[in-house]
Amino acid sequence: MITAERKPLEEIIEYIKPFKRILLLGCNECVTVCSAGGRKEVGLLASGLQMARLKSGTDIEIQQHTLERQCDPEYVEEIVSMIDGADAVLSMACGCGVQQLAMRYKEIPVFPAVNTKFMGASERQGVWAERCQGCGDCLLGITGGICPISRCAKQLMNGPCGGSTTGKCEISEDVDCAWQLIWDRLKALGLTERYLDIMPAKDWRSGGGSGPRKIIREDLAE
């Protein structure tokens, strides 16, 4: 899932300062799941903005709506009737959603209300952790199912650096050493021999090294 976090309120207020009628849009996909931009957060932000604007003595009208997904044009089309009543759009979706809106509604400014963070997994209630950097050439099959690209601070592909201490990364005690995890798992799987193979320098083209990426499924693409 894509994770995100609400931007500081101050920054959002600054974006929409010149505008009176705001269309605040949530997204019922990833940002709902990570509690950053679902119906609930839309309500909270609307209320907060309302208060902040009241305090500063400027009027604001906020229309709240949550789309099923902001990254699909068909869903984005849904708000076509609401756009007319707004001076600006504030989106609580990830960067994909914001861009989709901006592309579709060229005549109206669209602002992000969240910072898109990373592709992650739920560790437990309320905690999301980075698990993938979309390198486009998945290594998990040879690293015991644990990704050194997204989980090692130095993206080391051939083993732990000298800073690995009791299973933790040198950058923080809260961060697991990815290579400790990989090693433990390889051991559990009886695949420790595999570690001795030198993993060659990575080809980063698949990971964005050659510009914006696209996937085209010939059988589906029109």
Partner 1 sequence: MQNSKINQNQNNKVLVVGGGLGGIRTALDLAEAKKDVVLIDNDYTIGGLMTQLDRTFPTNNCDLCTIAPHLSESNREDHIELLTMTTVTNVTGEKGNFSVTLTSKPRYINLERCTACGDCLTHFPECVNFHPGLDHRAPTCMRYPQATPQAYSIDLEKCTDVQALVKICPARAINPDDMPIKRQIQCASIVLSPGASVFDPSHLDYLGYKNLPDVVTSLEYERILSASGPTGGKLICPSTGKQPKRVAWIQCIGSRGLQKEAGAYCSHACCMFALKEAIVTKERFQDDIETTIFYMDMRTFGKDYELYLNRAKNDYGVRFLRSRPHSILQPEGKTDLLLTYTKEDSTKQFEEEFDMVVLSTGFKTSEESRLLAQRVGIELNSDFFPITEEFNPVVTTKPGVYVAGTFEGPKDIPETMVQASAAACMAAADLPDIIDEPKELQEAPVERDVSLEEPKVGVFICDCGENIGGIVNVENLVAHAATLPYVAVAKAEGHGCSRTSMEDICQTIVEEGLNRVVIGGCSPRTHQEKFQDLLQKAGINRYLVDIANIRDQVTWVHSGKPKEAEAKAKELIAMSIASVVRAQPLTDHTLPMNKNVLVVGGGVTGMTASLKLAERGYQVYLAEKNDKLGGIANHLVKTLEGGDVQAYLSSMVEKVKSHKKIQVMTRALIVDHSGMPGMFTTGMQSGPQMFYKQIEHGITILATGAQSNRPDQYLLGKTPAVKTQLETQRYLFEHPDKVKQWENVVMIQCVGSRTPENPNCSRICCQNAIKNSLAILDLNPEARVFILYRDMRTYGFQEEYYQKARERGVIFVRYDLEKPPVVEEAGSQVDVTYYDTILGMDITVTADTLCLSTGMIADHDTNEELSRVFKLPRTEDGYFLEDHVKLRPVDMPVPGFFVAGTAHSPKLIRESVTQANAVAARAQTMLARDQISLGAATAKVDGKLCAACLICVRACPFNVPYINADGYSEIDPAKCHGCGMCVAECPAKAIQLMQFEDDRILAKVEQLFERITA
Partner 2 sequence: MKTESNLEKVLAAGHLAVTSECGPPRGCKPEEVVAKSKFLDGIVDAVNVTDNQTAMVRMSSLAASVIVKQQGLHPLFQVTCRDRNRLAMQADIIGAYSLGIDTMLCLSGDHTKFGDHPQAMNVHDIDSIQLIQMVKDMRDKGIFQGGAELKGSPKMFIGAAANPFADPFELRVMRLAKKIAAGADFIQTQCIFNVPKFEQWMEGVRKMGLHKKCYILAGVTPCKSLGAAKYMANRVPGMDVPKDVVDRMASVPKEKQADEGVAICVETIERLKKVEGVAGFHIMAIEWEEKVEEICQRAGLLPRPQV
Partner 3 sequence: MENFEPVIVAFCCHYCAYTAADMAGTQRLPYPANVKIIRIPCSGKIDTLHIVKAFEKGADGVYVAGCLEGDCHFKNGNVKAAKRVAYVQKYLEEIGLESERLEMVNISAGMGHRFAELASTMTEKIRKLGPSPVKAAAAL
Q: Which stretch binds partner 3 (CB under 8 A): 50-58, 71-79, 83-91, 199-207?
A: 50-58
Half-sphere exposure of 135 (CA within 13 A, CB side): 15
Length of the chain: 222
Closest approach of partner 1 to the CB of residue 96, in Å: 16
Site membership for partner 1, residue 28 (CB under 8 A): yes
Q: Kindly determine how many residues on this chain lie close enough to bind partner 2 according to the rule CB under 8 A.
A: 30
Q: Minimal CA–CA distance to 61: which of 90, 97, 28?
A: 90
66 binds, among partner 1, partner 3, partner 2, none (CB under 5 to 8 A by kind): partner 1
Of the candidate residues 35, 50, 115, 180, the single one contacting partner 1 (CB under 8 A):
35
Provide the 3-class DSSP secondary structure of residue 72.
coil
Closest approach of partner 3 to the CB of residue 87, in Å: 21
Which residues lie below 8 Å from residue 84, measured CB to CB, with a gap of 6+? none
Looking only at residues 46 through 85 of this chain, which bind partner 1 when binding is defined by CB under 8 A? 66
Strands 127-132 and 114-124: antiparallel
- 158, 148 contact by CB (below 8 A): no
For 113, the token pair is 């209300």
Site membership for partner 2, residue 206 (CB under 8 A): no
Of the candidate residues 63, 99, 133, 155, the single one contacting partner 2 (CB under 8 A):
155
Site membership for partner 2, residue 99 (CB under 8 A): no
The H or E element spanning position 13 is helix 9-16
Closest approach of partner 1 to the CB of residue 68, in Å: 9
Looking only at residues 90 through 109 of this chain, which bind partner 3 when binding is defined by CB under 8 A? none
Site membership for partner 3, residue 44 (CB under 8 A): yes
- 207, 133 contact by CB (below 8 A): yes
Closest approach of partner 2 to the CB of residue 164, in Å: 5
